[in-house]
Structure 1
Amino acid sequence: MAVRHYRLEFETAGPVHIGNGNRYGKKDYYASGNDIVVLDTRKFTSLLDARQIDRYCEFLGNGRDELQDFLQRNPDMRRLAEKSVAYRVESPLAKARRGAIQYYDVWEFVKDPYGNPYVPGSSVKGMLRTAILLNMLLDDEDCRKLYDAAIEQRPSDVRNPDAAIMKRAFFKERPSKDDPSIVNDIMKYVSVADSEPLLTADLVFAKKYDRFSKNDPVDHKHDMGRLTLLEGNELNVYRESLRPGVEVAVDVTVDDRIDGYLDGITLDAQGISSVLQRAFDFYSESFLSHFNQLEESDSKASPVASDGLCQYVVQSGPLAGRRCRNQAIDGTGYCRTHQEYAGKQSASAEVVCYLGGGVDFMNKTVVSALFGTEDERLHAVSRILYKQFPSRIDRSRHEALWREVEQAGFQPRPFSARFKKNGRLAKAKDDHRHWQDEQLGVAPHTMKYCIVGNKKYPMGKCTLRIKEV
């Protein structure tokens, strides 16, 4: 048995969200110039007197009120709030068309007990596991038979037919000869540590944005002149995320016993890089190619191995994990002091990966790899997505749309029109249009972006370099 140690160095090219399951509401934060201020509620309430507590409780019970307005009406409590700042997020909140700031619930980023954001090792290991599984499926045609058998047994549950495939891929080690029912998951041989604490200054509030594919005629949207945005939809979903350009490092330990169970895959630095590169190539060919890419900005994105500096990574002491800052000798990658390490520490080529929540369906699942042709993939994935997000239509108002969905081979579901308090129609359908995926040539037909300030970025996109340590 041998153990290999690697360092995975990420740089966020788009915002990365890893949630803790909690949300900030409009009573938990307020705008201050171009900053978002998150209130330390416990500290704030400890500073209030009895009358102020009564006013604050009344405010909390009023569902329509926002913290921003409450503090403006109560300047004495505004001063106390300024002394009770948990942290500031340097990104402006989105504004409505008339200029008013919009407050919505925000999914919170995971933090340590001291309030510092960090990247859990479990999130990185999940990304690696998905990439390894996708590589396996691309090379194993028998997995399609397991998928078809699972669908045949449970045709109503097309979202989770993966139990047999997961067993084939990962439940391979049988530690007991006497009891063959005992099976270990071979990913136990891969350990990923949490990252070091990051800074709250690394956080932004990212607004969800769905970008339409380049072949989408967008004929479902009303023409409202210059106010109509035909390239995508802004959604009132916010995620607290790492901003573009943040550097994150996690340590990975691989027990080489896993190599015996991975046909053709060796999880060394080059092997991990190759697995992730193949996953990205598949994603790019089967999904990204159907979208016009937006320009990305604000990412430093400087390749670690080509910056001309020594590649030596400090192994111990207070500077452990940091690179030497000396100039490398031409062609070696190491400075004169660290020439002895040339060939012992290695850096993989830079690869693109997608990390965290809110990323595309294709980055979180592997079902697309089960199908040999694009037509098969489109047919299967569109139906999986429609099962999860069916078209709901008020037939009395959208009879033509109802018939169009049926003609495409899908069954729409009834929907009762909703009205505003003034009697005006608010909504008469809930249509994610997955019945059109095959026609548009890509499933799903939207790509997950997000908006920070006035810039759009692909959600979860990172560049990654793997180093042996």
Structure 2
Amino acid sequence: MSNILKTYDLELTAAGPVYIGSGKEIGKKEYAFSPWEKKISVMDMAKLCQLLNGKNLMSQYEKFMLGNSRDDVGKWLEKNKVLKKEYQKCVRYQLECQDAVIDSRSKLSVLEFVKDAYGMPYVPGSSVKGMLRTILLAYDIAHDFEKYKQIKNDISGALKRNKGRNRNICKRESAAMEYACYRTLNRLQKEPRHAVNDAMAGMIVSDSKPLSVEELVLCQRTELHADGREKKLNVLREALRPGTVIHVTITIDSSICGITKEYLEQALAFFGEMYYECFLRKYPDMDMPFEDSVWLGGGTGFVTKTEVYPLFGKEEGVETVVNLFKATGVPENHKHYLDRKRGVSPHICKVAYYEGKRYQMGLCRAKITKCQ
């Protein structure tokens, strides 16, 4: 059995802010913003209610919560003469937000990072495995193109035939790529595309060990355009700060999954080079990724989550992405029809700032080590 199971440590070092969403939002009335400290304090709402109840402020607080006030809870507490040293006991954790613009006039929510039952951030193994599936599929397309040639033709044909908005266009073809790459087991011969035939069942990726909330910072979504312009959006995310080190364990059952450490490293190197050549090099001051670069989590952009460029290549890929956006009903005011002249599509790279420096969202460096 020990010869069949291969276990590796995957070390991911955040080279940019990494965001993996929990699906929850922290509303403005659940955090206090300190413009002097450049921090927000996320409240433990149960403790806060207990404090306010003891001060006979619950009825006023209910009106605040149900009303249209644009104040954060910190301002409301100050207006109601609740001292900072009192409500500090109700703070769950604090987030640095030196590079995020907190607009007091808007109702900004914070997209929360996924946390365990003890309130500690962690990286789910499913997020890492999803990233690896995308990278391995891209590598397989590049090195066994004949297997995907008909799928490429089917996508081109579907886009040419499309006359209106269809958000599910090419969904069948995308699934066909997954089937061609991964549904290689013969466990259920009558249904070769059934999930039970997926060879990636032989790769188990653990969740990371819990990380500290001190590794979280507040990042503002920023769009870098191909012409060098930047646009900051009113979207705030909890993200792991650059430099955070994440460890997950990869266990491969070699009787099911034929992927080796060397193959995986080659796939990582290919994906980073493809991403740069087909997309990133069109943006000013964006360097060639390292050979071990990966893009993890949310907000990393279209190219890191799809297989258009591995399948169609650089020039034909731009045309295909433009047609996909048109077919799926992306509004005209996004001006993707100009991407043909720009030579890149999408024409926005997702970035974020930390300590005054611009980073690619979700960029990590990966190191794979065999466990003893």
Normalised by the length of structure 2, the TM-score is 0.88
Equivalent residue, structure 2, for 1:412: none
The aligned residue for residue 414 of structure 1 is none
Q: Residue 29 of structure 2: SS of its match in structure 1?
A: coil
Indicate yes or no: 2:80 matched with 1:74. yes
Task: Please tell me whether the aligned partners of residues 208 and 247 of structure 2 are also in contact (alpha carbons under 8 angstroms).
Answer: yes
CA–CA distance in structure 2, aligned partners of residues 443 and 129 of structure 1: 23
CA pair 101-249 structure 1, distance change in 2 beyond 3 A: farther
Q: Which residue of 2 aligns with 1:391?
A: 331
Which amino acid is the alignment partner of residue 5 of structure 2?
V
- SS of residue matched to 1:47: helix
| Aligned-residue CA RMSD (Å) | 2.4
Partner of 2:347: 445
Correspondence 1:172 to 2:184: yes
In the TM superposition, 1:144-223 aligns within 5 A as: 144-149=149-154, 152=157, 155=162, 156=166, 157-158=168-169, 160=171, 161-176=173-188, 183-213=196-226, 216=227
The amino acid across from 2:315 in the alignment is D
Q: Secondary structure at the match of 2:255?
A: helix
Change (3 A) 1:181 1:31: closer
- C-alpha change, 1:95 and 1:177, in structure 2 (3 Å) is closer
Q: Deviations over 1:246-303 (max 9, x none)?
A: 111111101112455xxxxxx23222111111111111111111111269xxxxxxxx
The answer (yes or no) to whether the contact 2:201–2:257 under 8 Å persists in 1 is no
Which one of 216, 241, 247 corresponds to residue 239 of structure 2?
241
In the alignment, is the contact (CA less than 8 A) between 2:224 and 2:351 conserved in 1?
A: yes
1:20-62 superposed Cα distances (whole Å, 9 cap, x missing partner) = 1011111111123222110111121122227311111011011
Distance in 2 (CA, whole Å) between partners of 1:281 and 1:170 is: 23
> What CA deviation, in whole Å up to 9, does each residue of 1:55-94 have, x standing for no partner?
1101101123322321220222654421101101123363
Match of 2:70 in 1: 65
Pairing partner for 2:337 from 415, 427, 435: 435
Consecutive unaligned residues in structure 2, runs of 5 or more: none
Q: Deviations over 1:91-140 (max 9, x none)?
A: 336347xx968661111000000000001111110111000000111122
Tell me, in whole angstroms, the C-alpha distance in 2 between the residues paired with 1:61 and 1:78.
Answer: 23
Residue 94 of structure 1 contacts residue 101 of structure 1 at CA under 8 Å; is this kept in 2? Answer: no
- Tell me the residue number matched to 1:21: 23
Structure possessing the higher relative contact order (Cα contacts under 8 Å, 6 or more residues apart): 2
The count of residues paired between Structure 1 and Structure 2 equals 354
Given the two structures, how large is their TM-score scaled by the length of structure 1? 0.70
Change (3 A) 1:93 1:28: farther
SS in 2 for 1:8: strand
Cα 1:463–1:18 change in 2 (3 A) is: same
* Match of residue 422 from structure 1: none
CA gap of 1:389–1:42, structure 2 versus 1, over 3 A, is farther
Q: Which moved more, 1:160-169 or 1:437-446?
A: 160-169
CA distance in structure 1 between the partners assigned to 2:212 and 2:10 by the alignment: 19
- The answer as to whether partners of 1:17 and 1:358 remain within 8 angstroms in 2 is yes
